Amino acid sequence: NRKRKRRKHQEEEEAAAEEEEESSGLDSSSDEELDDGGVEATDVFESKEPASSCQKKEARKESGPAPSKQPSQPAVFIHVDRLPEMQEARLRLPVLAEEQVIMEAVKENSFVVLCGETGSGKTTQVPQFLYEAGYASGIIGVTEPRRVAAVSMSHRVAKEMNLSTSLVSYQIRYEGNVTADTKIKFMTDGVLLKEIQKDFLLQRYSVIIIDEAHERSVYTDILIGLLSRIVPLRNKKGLPMKLIVMSATLRVEDFTENRKLFPVPPPVIKVEARQFPVSVHFNKRTPLEDYSGEVFHKTCKIHRMLPPGGILVFLTGQAEVHSVCRRLRRAFPFRRGREVAEAPTDTAEEMRRFKKVKLKKTVSLPRIDLDNYSALPVDEGDEDRQAGIDEEEGSDLELGDPPADDEEKADPSLPLYVLPLYSLLSPEQQAKVFRPPPPGTRLCVVATNVAETSLTIPGIKYVVDCGRVKKRFYDRVTGVSSFKVTWTSQASANQRAGRAGRTEPGHCYRLYSSAVFGDFSLFSEAEITRRPVEDLVLQMKDLNIDKVVNFPFPTPPSTEALVAAEQLLVSLGALEEVKEMERARLSCPISPLGRAMASFPVAPRYAKMLALGKQQDCLPYVIAVVAAMTVREIFEDLDRPAATEDESSTLAQRRARLTQMRRLWAGQGASLLLGDLMVLLGAVGACEFAGCTPKFCEENGLRYKAMLEIRRLRGQLTNAVNSVCPEVGVFVDSKMAPPTESQVVCLRQIVLAGLGDHLARRVQQEELLDPKWRNGYKTPLLDEPVYIHPSSALFKTLPPFVVYQEVLETTKMYMKGVSAVEPEWVPQILTRYCHFGSPLEVPSPWFCPSTGRIKCHCTSTFFRCGWQLPAVEMD
Ligand code: CDP
Ligand code: MG
């Protein structure tokens, strides 16, 4: 039976859509026992003492030479038949010189740390060393924090080894080419974490390589913590396993000096890279506003004035990358074959005229039945356009690209071969950066920090560094994260500069002053210290790690963050409620509901909604709403100031159009009370009904990429729900009918159950001591009023109680994603948030024949702030 189960699991695994690097998800929870020979998987995390005597003993055994009889001990060396040119290229990599040292260390130790400059060959070569040395008895697994690296590296290694992609494969959240024969598997760290949930001992793997450990992504950190225990367990069972941690910087003390993680410090092998000198040029002044404009000008200047050599530009995000690519292509057009399409010949004026024409069309409204969002007309003739989308141009929806500067006159004699590079770019597009540019052109790659350490682009001589990075920030008050652009760290800036000296001496142009550089932090902090951890805590509890505080984090999150996470999870019912003392020790065990929630790849608040979703056939709607809330920024940003007068009028028109559509999607009467979540549902429903075309999205102010992601996430969530609860049998319905009135009520209650800690109460007239509280709302944790955002469907309604998705601070503190709540639901649905008073005298208790219980009315208050709520019926 167990065998069958395992086989089923393997199949599932192969089929399963996997985790994205950024997503917090887990796969379907499994009730399968861990086949760990009776070793409780979590025993190893329970001990308060970092290195108990037994662990110490084990660790010592660890670091000593492994017994020679062990099954995965390399016995046979496997010959790899490389093409001569590949062999020649790899012999030039610094890591090759260290092959013997590395392989000896791996043979002698279970844990090895490998440091080496980017481009020294760690990612591409170490898996090959292991393969050749006979470690491929199981799978050699390599984790990357970024999808783009997992895909690109698997292709590269397959090519270098002259093996098919069925042997050297990859798996990322939504796709992969792993087969039963796979020997080397590149994957995102989230994918491996999910596999640990299915098989704690990772029995199919013989070696795990954690790559890019210096990035300190949350999943990488957690994986290292988990593997520090899994590897000894495997060794104990006679199924030896190796862990190799690879890092681009030499700051590895968080791993090597952490006795809780590795009782005996693992050996650190350093690979000296051949690096040519890079002259660093600082700007005299630091542009604070339009740094991407500055980047554009600097790149133009380098191209016009400096000798041949590739240019690598660092920006912070996809939109910036596209915008700068477009400006550069316009300034230095390059035509050849299909690239003609990439380098529009239009002058700025023609572009403007073109946009005007298009916008005129946009403004005319389709005929719509006001109450039925699924009755929107289907756009015809869009298939071609959709098929012809080019990642670099077509799918980009932002308007208002600044017109090409007159100062940067097109110079046809010097074509610039401009390529974008960022995480979400399709594999075919990103592979282009590794190929030599067309003869007679100069390569210019405009990238996000994916090019910092994950990928090495050949032939780069000049680096243009904007000095910034886009990071996810977490607001402790609202508990919601957001992306912000901030200064990068000195270590990152130096990594960026280093990209210029790979093949010959190079130059790095920093678009900030040396004083600003001096103020940068030395290293980027570990992501885990900057974000809420409720999703991680839930995942760990699902791995039966009850005392999360004892987990060997390379850098632990703050106790405050752990307590907040545990509290939220108890409130959501994902953890069992235990005595005060237990709770203080942060050791609440997971509940059956928590197990179900852990299997949904979304944040716990949303997972709770999914878990409740099957009532009244609401599941398809809950899935659509949760997907839309998880994918950020589904509406085009129309609030930004316009660049030109021309643009300002088009922006105004688009805003008017979007307001109109929002009103339409929000519906009327009952559905309006679901508020902004109804707008999301309406937008998803209408967009799917129209076939999710770029045209529909553009006309209706939706971001096409976001809508595509929602579509994929809906599929993934539907699979996850079906595997937890097969009897529900939910499916993705592209022609979803709008919810009925009673379904809307049900949806509002489900939303309340998930967002209970984001409850806000309208300030009553008699409380208006200060005029600033007019139309304001009170929240349990903030002293200041918060307001319903003007773009909200409930802006004019001002319901007495609402829940919100996030609080965003601009001119005021605005709630976004607002949904109205009936006060009497609060004590009934959020029982864990409420205090109940003594039974009320009137009306007196009564007998309920259907339940056989005595019932009475109790007063209730919202415990976080003592708000009076309606009396509630209690047993
Ligand atoms: O991991 P590390 O940064 O140490 O180096 P790597 O990614 O293994 O890259 C080693 C070399 O392979 C670099 O010189 C890259 O330019 C080259 N490479 C390539 O030409 N094409 C790829 N798709 C990947 C790497
Ligand atoms: Mg690498």
pLDDT in tens, 581-606: 665 667 889 999 999 998 888 899 99
What residues form DSSP beta bridges with 867? 862
Distance 119 CA to ligand 1 centre (A): 5
- pLDDT bracket for residue 46 (50, 70, 90): low
Amino acid residing at 169: S
* Residue nearest atom 10 in ligand 1 by C-alpha distance: 121
Q: How confident is the model at residue 49 (pLDDT cuts 50, 70, 90)?
A: very low
- Predicted confidence at residue 154, as pLDDT, reads 96
Which of the given ranges, 78-82, 238-242, 410-414, has the highest pLDDT on average?
Answer: 238-242
Residue 39 has pLDDT above 60, yes or no: no
Sequence letter at residue 552 = P
Least confident of 384-398, 484-498, 658-672, 827-841: 384-398
DSSP for 293-325?
HHHHHHHHHHHHHS-S-EEEEE-SSHHHHHHHH
Q: Determine contact, residues 86/147, Cβ cutoff 8 Å.
A: no
Distance 119 CA to ligand 2 centre (A): 7
pLDDT of residue 67: 40
Place of tokens 């001591």: 769
| Ligand 1 centre distance from Cα of residue 176 (Å) | 21
Distance 118 CA to ligand 1 centre (A): 8
Residue 859 exposed, middle or buried by CB count within 10 Å (0-12, 13-18, 19+): middle
Q: How far is the CA of 386 from the centre of ligand 1 (A)?
A: 34
Q: Hey, what are 601's tokens?
A: 């790849």
Nearest bound ligand to the CA of residue 144: 2
Q: Report which ligand 1 atom has the smallest distance to the Cα of 117.
A: 4
pLDDT score, position 847:
74
Give the model confidence (pLDDT) of 208-235 as tens digits: 999 999 888 889 999 999 999 999 999 9
> What pLDDT, on the 0 to 100 scale, is given for residue 505?
92
Pocket of ligand 1 (CB under 6 A): 93, 116, 118-125, 152, 156, 434, 456, 458
Whether the pTM exceeds 0.80: the reply is no
Token duo for residue 178? 């792993």
Residue-wise pLDDT for 384-431, tens only, equals 222 222 222 222 222 233 334 434 454 456 789 999 998 767 667 888
Mean pLDDT across the stretch 200-210?
A: 97
Q: Which residues surround the ion ligand 2 when the cut-off is CB under 5 Å?
A: 123
* Cα–Cα distance measured from residue 187 to residue 208, given in angstroms and rounded to the nearest whole number: 11
pLDDT of residue 62: 40
Top mutation candidate among 87, 120, 450, 456 for ligand 1, by most atoms within 8 Å of CB: 456
The answer to whether 445 and 773 have CB atoms below 8 angstroms apart is no
pLDDT computed for residue 301 by the predictor: 93
Q: Is the model's pLDDT at 1 over the cut of 60?
A: no
More confident call, 407 vs 826: 826
Does residue 59 carry a pLDDT above 90? no
Segment 668-697, tens digit of pLDDT: 888 889 999 999 999 999 999 888 898 999
pLDDT tens digits, residue range 255-305? 888 888 999 999 999 998 777 889 999 998 877 778 889 999 999 999 999
In degrees, rounded to 5, the angle at the alpha carbon of residue 371 between the alpha carbons of residues 367 and 372 is: 75
- The pLDDT of residue 51 is 38
Ligand 1 atom nearest the C-alpha of 455 is 7
Terminal CA-CA length for the chain: 44
Using pLDDT thresholds of 50, 70 and 90, give the confidence band for residue 580.
Answer: low
pLDDT digits (tens, 9 = 90+) for 600-649: 888 999 999 999 888 888 999 999 999 999 887 788 877 666 666 777 78
Q: What is the pLDDT of residue 482?
A: 60
> Are the CB atoms for 38 and 211 separated by under 8 Å?
no
pLDDT of res. 429: 81
- pLDDT above 60 for 756: yes
Distance 318 CA to ligand 2 centre (A): 22
pLDDT for residue 22: 33
Atom number, ligand 1, closest to the C-alpha of residue 454:
3
pLDDT at 344: 33
Report the residue among 102, 124, 455 best suited for mutation to probe ligand 1: largest number of ligand atoms under 8 A from its CB. 124
- Mean pLDDT lowest among 307-311, 488-492, 613-617, 660-664: 613-617
Is residue 63 over pLDDT 70? no
Label residue 355 by pLDDT band (50, 70, 90). Answer: very low
Q: What is the pLDDT of residues 291-321, one digit of tens each?
A: 889 999 999 999 999 999 999 999 998 888 9
pLDDT bucket at 351, cuts 50 / 70 / 90 = very low
Mean pLDDT taken over the chain: 78
**CA–CA distance, 501 with 491 (Å, rounded to integer):** 16
Cis amide prior to 843 (ω within 30 degrees): yes
CA distance 532 to 561: 6
Cα–Cα distance measured from residue 212 to residue 654, given in angstroms and rounded to the nearest whole number: 43
Q: How far is the CA of 122 from the centre of ligand 2 (A)?
A: 6
In 326-349, which positions are buried (b, 16+ CB within 10 angstroms) versus exposed (e)? bbbbbbbbbeeeebeebbeeeeee
Least-confidence region, from 5-19, 150-164, 745-759, 844-858: 5-19
Residue nearest to atom 18 of ligand 1 (CA): 456
Rounded distance between C-alpha atoms, residue 247 and residue 211, angstroms: 6
The rounded distance, in Å, linking the Cα atoms of 442 and 301 is 13
Please give the structure tokens belonging to residue 85. 């040119």
